[in-house]
Amino acid sequence: MTKTVTTRINDDGLRYRSKTVGSPFASKANTRSCFKCGKHRTPDQLQSKKLLGKTEMVCKPSCKELAEALGE
CB of 37 to Zn ion, least distance (A): 3
Cβ closer to Zn ion: 20 or 67?
67
What string of DSSP letters covers 7-72?
EEE-TTS-EEEEEEES-TTTTSTT-EE-TTT--EE-GGGEEEEEETTEEEEEESS-HHHHHHHTT-
Cβ closer to Zn ion: 6 or 28?
28
| 26-65 positions binding Zn ion, by CB under 5 A | 34, 36-37, 59, 63
Cβ closer to Zn ion: 27 or 64?
64
